[in-house]
Structures are given as structure tokens and as C-alpha cells.
Amino acid sequence: MLLAAALTLLGIVAMSGWLADSTRQFSRSVGRITSLRVAAGTLLSQLQDAEIGQRGYLLTEDRHYLKPYEAANIAVDSTIARLRDLADGGADELRIVDRLAVLADAKREELAQTITLMEAGRRDEALAVVRTGRGMMLMDDARRVLADLITPADAQLDTQLTALIGQARTSGWVANLGGLFIVLVVGGAVWIALRYTRDLMRAQRAIQALNDSLEQRVSERTKELQRANDEIQRFAYIVSHDLRAPLVNVMGFTGEFEVGLASVRAHLDRLPPDGDDAAASEARRAVVEDMPEAIGFIRASTTKMDRLINAILALSRQGGRTLNPEPVSMQALLENVVASLRHQASEQHCTIDIREPLPSLLSDRLALEQVFGNLLDNAVKYLDPARTGRIAIQGRVEENRLIFEVADNGRGIAPQDHERIFELFRRSGVQDRPGEGIGLAYVRTLIRRLQGEVTVESVPGQGSVFRITLPQALSLSSEKAVHDA
């Protein structure tokens, strides 16, 4: 329908253009014919003025009467030239103009002859020339020739006017029919638009209802996840607490065992070793070698278990800590973090470069310090001793998100471990550095609470790039809503 309306409008525009062009052509033709008629009438009037001036002079012998004659005699040439310019209708018009020029010259010769005779004092001869009637015949011939020029022009004008009226009538019908068709098309388009709008509104209402139900389901699922998370945190706390009690007992009894073993060893040291039998020698070896070694293994295991329990407790407590968004200058924050690691970095012959400027944000300062502290501590810890260590920190803004990168030239991480290193108690590569495998899990937990994400790109033997994406402003509305619920 829109295409049909467009084609109709195009037709109306084309018809209007054609009518305008026809009107211009008609106007030019009418202007030419009108000018031709005016010039023809002017020529006849000039010849009559010249004749009147001649007759007055012959009757009165007063040269004052020759002024119209002289003016008309001069103007005839320009009028005939004007007629030649306007006679562009064909050879017939030019032939008629040439005939008029001949008649005009003949008439002026007749007038000039009589005036010359009169000026010579031969008045009777001048009147005799007039009485021959030749001048009157020349004027009659000029009128007839002018009629031959004007009559076809009038007929041509009537023909063009009739054609123009027909064109206007046709254009009017086309415009009326086109307007009616456009009204029908617009009406149909409005009807289709109204029907489409009704369907769209129904679809929007259905989508809104679906969104409402989806938001309700999401809210319910979020509450369930929050409850599950709270239960996991409580479980982690309870388990850690319950594990710590027997661990303390093991550590305490291990200490008592060491004290008793020291007493037994002191007693054996007082006895002469020469009198020992096989059983005594075996007991002495157990007290001196086997039992201290076993106690050392027990202490190392309990110490490691204690560190793991503390890590679990720290991770569970972090999930329950209330975040405090505040304006944070990342430049100042990272300078403080780097300052705390400067001694450790100097021992490893490592340089840490903060590339300015770093974007600022609205977030939790403590969480950011812990995140970047862990990342930089790992970067220094896992440098490659075969080359000088370099660590670079940079940040930028991309699409309303802040991206921070911590890049190092350390050992690197195997591709299969890029995700595993963020899991609890999982580590990558040779385990020749102290740690429990909880630092990066702690980092990911904190970053997600800050509504961000952390990823790693690494090539073994070349280094790693930890990339952190954060919002410019931390919003706690969703978290507060869940806690309130």
C-alpha cells in the first residue's frame, strides 16, 4: 500500500511537472504572439501618423505638421526589426514581415515624394500624387498583410489555450483521483498501524507479565542462593571450629609427648650404652631418631592444617562483611600496596612500575587492598630467578567499566590451570613456595562481591597478566534487598 501511494504521488508530481512545463511554453508563446500583435499595430499606427503629418503639411504648408511624420518615419525601421525578431513561428511569418517591410518602404517613398514636391513649391504636383490613390492602396495592402500575420497567431493562441485547459482538466482529475487514493492508502495504513499497535501492546503486556514473574523467580532464586551461601558460611565456620578443637588437642598432646620424650631421652643419656641389650638399643634408637622425626611430621601437619582452617575462617568471614563504597584513588592505593612489598621485591631484584594515570572509582577500599595485595604478592613470589623481575600495573576505562591489569615476567601458568588456580586449595606448577592455595580463590570471591570479574592470560616461561574488570561505582542495592528479605 505504501508503494502504491508512493507511485501515485510520483505520478501526480510528474503530471504537475508536465503541466508546469506546458504552462511555461504557453506563456512564452502567448508573450511572443502578444508582442507580435503589438508590434504589428505599432507599425500600422506609425504609418498612419506619418500619413497624417504629410496630409496636414500639404493642406497648410506648415512644417509643424511634419513632426509626427518625421518621428514615425524614424521608428518604422526599429518596429520592422522587432517584427523580424518575433517572427519565429516559421517561414510564413518571415515572408509576411518581409512583405510589410516592402509596403512600409513604398509608403514612406510616396510620402517623401509629396513632401519633397511641396518643399520645392510644386504643391499641385504633390496633391496630384495624393489623388492617384496609390498611398491609400499601400495602406490597405499593409492592413491586409498585417491581418495575414495576426489571424494565424490568434488561431494558434486559441489552440494552445484549448490544449492548456484540457491539460489542466486532466491534471485536476489525476490530482483528485490521486488524492482519493492517497486518502484510502493513508486510512489503510492507519488501520494497519492501529492493529499493529494493539498487537504490540498485547505483546508488551505479555512480556511485562513474563518479566514480572521472571523477576519474582529471580528474586526467589537469589534469596535461596543467599540462604545457601549463608548456610555454607555457617557450615564452614562450624566445621573449622569443630576441627580446631581436636587439632588443639593434638598439638597440646604433641607438646606433652615431646616433654615426656625429653625426660626419657635424658634418662637414657645417663645410662652407659655399653650395657644395652638388643631391646635397649632399639629403644634408644627410637627415642633418639624415630620418635623426634614422627613428632616433627605431626607438628608440620598440624601447623599446615591450622593454616588451612584459618584460611577457611577468613574466607567465610569475608562473605559476611558489609562492603563500604567510598571514593578510592587507585593511584594512591596501589602506591601504598607496592610500598608494603618493596623490601620483598628488592630481595628478589624486582621492579614494580605503576603506569599513570590510573582511573579512580567508588568501591570498597579494604577489599581492593586485599585483592591487589594478593596479586602483587603472588607476582613477586613466583618470579623467574633466571631473569630480572618486572611487574607493571596499568588501568583504563572501557564502556563504563574499569579494567586493571597486573602483568609480570615470572614463571607463567599452564593453560589447563588458568581456571583451576582460582579454586580453593588449588595451585599450579612446582610447589617450591609457601602457600595454601587460597589467595586467588579469595581474590575472585572479593572481586565478585565488588561486582567485577578477574581473569588471567599466561604463557609458561614468559609471564602472566591478571585482568580485573570493575564498575565505576559499586551498587549495594541488590545486596541490601537480599539481606533485608
Phi-psi region of 465 (alpha: psi -120 to 50; beta: other; left: phi over 0): beta
- Which residues neighbour 235 within 8 Å (Cβ) at sequence distance 6 or greater? none
Side chain identity, residue 192: I
- Distance between CA atoms of residues 364 and 330, nearest Å: 11
Least Cα distance to 145 among 95, 191, 181, 107 occurs for 95
- Distance between CA atoms of residues 289 and 467, nearest Å: 51
Give pairs for 233-242: CB < 8 Å, separation 24+: 233/316, 233/319, 233/320, 236/312, 236/313, 236/315, 236/316, 237/313, 237/316, 237/317, 239/312, 240/309, 240/312, 240/313, 240/316
- Which range has highest mean pLDDT (99-113, 141-155, 286-300, 442-456)? 442-456
Q: pLDDT band for position 275 (50/70/90)?
A: low
Task: Kindly state the average pLDDT of the residues 5-21.
Answer: 70
Residues above pLDDT 70, as percent of the chain: 79
Task: Kindly state the average pLDDT of the residues 255-270.
Answer: 75
Give the three cell numbers for residue 269: 643419656
Per-residue pLDDT, 326: 94
Least Cα distance to 147 among 302, 293, 40, 297 occurs for 40
Per-residue pLDDT, 451: 92
Per-residue pLDDT, 427: 64
Task: Kindly state the average pLDDT of the residues 81-92.
Answer: 76
- Which residues neighbour 19 within 8 Å (Cβ) at sequence distance 6 or greater? 167, 168, 171
Is the Cβ–Cβ distance between 129 and 114 less than 8 Å?
yes
Q: Provide the 8-state DSSP code for 289.
A: I
Per-residue pLDDT, 311: 60
Give the three cell numbers for residue 428: 599450579
The continuous run of DSSP H or E covering 72 comes out as helix 66-86
Q: Per the confidence metrics, is the pTM higher than 0.85?
A: no
Q: pLDDT band for position 278 (50/70/90)?
A: confident
Rounded to 5°, angle at Cα 82 from 77 and 88: 135
Task: Kindly state the average pLDDT of the residues 387-404.
Answer: 92
Q: Is the pLDDT of residue 334 over 90?
A: yes
Is the Cβ–Cβ distance between 16 and 167 less than 8 Å?
no
- Distance between CA atoms of residues 51 and 69, nearest Å: 7
Q: Are strands 350-354 and 401-408 parallel, antiparallel or unpaired?
A: unpaired
Give the three cell numbers for residue 408: 609480570
Q: Is the pLDDT of residue 332 over 90?
A: yes
Is the Cβ–Cβ distance between 372 and 334 less than 8 Å?
yes
Is the Cβ–Cβ distance between 467 and 455 less than 8 Å?
yes
- 3-class secondary-structure state, position 410: coil
Give the three cell numbers for residue 76: 518604422
Q: Is the pLDDT of residue 482 over 50?
A: no
- Distance between CA atoms of residues 427 and 478, nearest Å: 33
- Decide: residue 9, CB within 10 A, 0-12 exposed, 13-18 middle, 19+ buried: middle
Arithmetic mean of pLDDT over the chain? 80
Residues above pLDDT 90, as percent of the chain: 18
Sheet strands (E) in 283-338: 325-328
Q: pLDDT band for position 376 (50/70/90)?
A: very high
Q: Is the pLDDT of residue 428 over 70?
A: no
Task: Give the least confident one: 147-156, 326-335, 389-398.
Answer: 147-156
Per-residue pLDDT, 217: 75
Q: Which residues pair with 354 in a beta bridge?
A: 393
Per-residue pLDDT, 241: 57
Identify the residue whose cell numbers are 500575420.
Answer: 149
Task: Kindly state the average pLDDT of the residues 389-413.
Answer: 92
For residue 3, which phi and psi values (nearest 5 degrees)? Answer: -65, -40
Per-residue pLDDT, 485: 47
